[in-house]
């Protein structure tokens, strides 16, 4: 199969080592295709065409059609830019028995062991003395070395990683450069001008197509850059449809979404309200517009694991390269209902793409997404979809090379508006 989508996704992941980088990369790509940058502090631009707004690690893009429908609605794809990681503490430099180390917090539900024996750098933003911010990414300076089995003969039977003591990466030996000084050098600023930082670990190993038939894609941050990239690709591929097409990529999903840039926050609600206001849609007309609208929450889901198949529901066993997932939960951990199933299946049929279902084993509670949170805040009909993954929340997740472009194809059909 053509690898254009996979190559582009690999480039997107490489350009997006943090949520801040991902938001800016989405905006950059859209501006290159004619979208206009919207600042929240500026007067709202309601002209037809594409617009994009970045708030820290979140990005919202939308396209206003030249001729608005008599019954206007929003077609929204939601995703998130963050992934489980390690976050640098305010006073980051530590040392022990001759080694320089970085003091880090744990961000999200990461697989601790996947960070062992991998080289990783730091990426995110620096806040400077003059109040401005700048993005930065360092080389792969850091590593958390495993304990050799000679020192713990039980390590292969009962690996236990203490979140405070065992997840502190090495920087080198004591007596070397101070960490913040080294980061300042990479950013091209003076160390004394850095008054704050939001820096996260990212694995420097590049994405790769693997498997004897080149049918698997290994990469970091596939949860959920796979959906961000699919939504971006779909928005550009669909062109102008009858609806106001929106791509909303939130930050902080992995830690609950309760922030100014998370799905529980006011960002999307504010953007939708300002779009409608600029189109002279007010009051009851705006409420009716929301009632007609649909949001597709796109977030990766768990493929069945061949070594742990018993943890999946026996009748619902999604497999790599068998199609994107419809994610369902009676407890509303996912929002898809019968309406959403029918809508997604119609869209998938039109572009000849298979559909799979994810439903949790009753004894194994599922995760959740931005879908229920955004739906609760806005009251917009929402469904949950995504590509199946193995090794979710690892530093090296695994997807199928067919599923990735398939998700973008169905999302593009959604944006075209014939539903």
The answer to whether the predicted template modeling score (pTM) of the entire model surpasses 0.85 is yes
Instruction: Write down the pLDDT at residue 2.
Output: 42
Residues in a beta bridge with 216 = 210, 400
Can you list the pairs that 136-142 forms with residues at least 24 positions away whose Cβ atoms lie under 8 Å? 136/183, 136/186, 136/187, 136/199, 137/17, 137/18, 137/21, 137/186, 137/202, 138/182, 138/183, 138/186, 139/186, 139/204, 140/203, 140/204, 141/171, 141/172, 141/182, 142/102, 142/169, 142/170, 142/171, 142/201
Walk along the chain (419 residues) and give the pLDDT tens digit of each residue: 445 899 999 999 999 999 999 999 999 999 999 999 999 999 999 999 999 999 999 999 999 999 998 999 999 999 999 999 999 999 998 889 999 999 999 999 999 999 999 999 999 999 999 999 999 999 999 999 999 988 888 888 888 999 999 999 999 998 888 999 999 999 999 999 999 999 999 999 999 999 999 999 999 999 999 999 999 999 999 999 999 999 999 999 999 999 999 999 999 999 999 999 999 999 999 999 999 999 999 999 999 999 999 999 999 999 999 999 999 999 999 999 999 999 999 999 999 999 999 999 889 888 899 999 999 999 999 999 999 999 999 999 999 999 999 999 999 999 999 88
Instruction: Write down the pLDDT at residue 151.
Output: 87
Instruction: Write down the pLDDT at residue 1.
Output: 43
Helix (H, G, I), strand (E, B) or coil at 355: coil
* Helices and strands (DSSP H and E) totals, the chain: 9, 20
Over the range 306-330, which residues count as b (16 or more CB within 10 Å of their CB) and which as e? eeeeeebbeeebbebbbbbbbbbbe
CATH topology of domain 85-203: Aminopeptidase i, Domain 2 (2.30.250)
Nearest to 170 by CA among 84, 87, 94: 94
| 121 backbone φψ class: left, alpha, beta (φ>0; ψ -120 to 50) | beta
Could you tell me which residues come within 8 angstroms of residue 51 by beta carbon, excluding any fewer than 6 positions away? 35, 36, 37, 38, 45, 61, 62, 63, 64
Q: What is the largest distance, in Å, between two alpha-carbon atoms of the chain?
A: 73
Q: Kindly list the domain boundaries of the chain, sorted by start residue.
A: 4-83+220-416, 85-203
Joined together, the tokens standing for residue 33 give 């295709």
> What is the chain's Cα-based Rg?
22
Look up the CATH architecture of domain 4-83+220-416.
3-Layer(aba) Sandwich (3.40)
Instruction: Write down the pLDDT at residue 3.
Output: 56
């Amino acid at each position: 199969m053509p690898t254009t989508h996979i190559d582009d996704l690999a480039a997107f992941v490489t350009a997006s080592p943090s949520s801040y980088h991902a938001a800016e990369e989405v905006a950059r790509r859209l501006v290159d295709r004619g979208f206009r940058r919207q600042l929240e502090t500026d007067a709202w631009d309601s002209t037809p065409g594409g617009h994009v707004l970045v708030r820290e690690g979140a990005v919202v893009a939308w396209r206003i059609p030249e001729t608005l429908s008599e019954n206007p609605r929003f077609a929204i794809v939601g995703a998130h830019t963050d992934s489980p990681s390690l976050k640098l503490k305010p006073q980051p430099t530590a040392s022990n028995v001759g080694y320089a180390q970085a003091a880090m917090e744990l961000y999200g539900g990461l697989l601790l062991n996947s960070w062992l024996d991998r080289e990783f750098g730091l990426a995110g933003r620096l806040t400077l003395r003059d109040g401005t911010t700048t993005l930065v990414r360092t080389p792969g300076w850091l590593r958390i070395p495993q304990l050799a089995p000679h020192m713990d003969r039980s390590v292969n039977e009962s690996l236990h990683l203490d979140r405070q003591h065992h997840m502190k990466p090495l920087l080198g030996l004591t007596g070397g450069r101070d960490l913040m000084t080294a980061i300042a050098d990479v950013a091209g600023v003076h160390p004394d001008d850095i008054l704050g930082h939001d820096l996260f670990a990212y694995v420097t190993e590049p994405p790769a197509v693997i498997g004897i038939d080149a049918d698997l894609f290994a990469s970091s941050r596939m949860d959920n850059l796979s959906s961000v990239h699919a939504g971006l690709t779909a928005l550009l591929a669909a062109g102008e449809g009858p609806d106001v097409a929106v791509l909303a990529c939130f930050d902080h999903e992995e830690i609950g979404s309760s922030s100014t840039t998370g799905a529980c926050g006011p960002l999307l609600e504010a953007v939708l309200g300002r779009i409608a206001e600029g189109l002279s849609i007010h009051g009851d007309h705006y409420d009716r517009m929301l009632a007609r609208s649909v949001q597709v929450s796109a977030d990766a889901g768990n493929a069945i694991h061949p070594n742990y198949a018993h943890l999946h529901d026996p009748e619902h066993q999604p497999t790599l390269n068998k199609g994107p997932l419809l994610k369902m939960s009676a407890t509303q951990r996912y929002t898809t209902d019968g309406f959403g199933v029918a809508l997604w299946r119609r869209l998938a049929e039109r572009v000849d793409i298979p559909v799979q279902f994810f439903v949790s084993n009753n004894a194994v509670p599922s995760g959740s997404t931005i879908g229920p949170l955004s739906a609760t805040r806005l009251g917009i009909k929402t469904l949950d979809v995504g590509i199946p993954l193995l090794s979710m929340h690892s530093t090296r997740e695994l997807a199928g090379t067919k599923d990735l472009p398939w998700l973008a194809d169905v999302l593009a059909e959604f944006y075209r508006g014939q539903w």
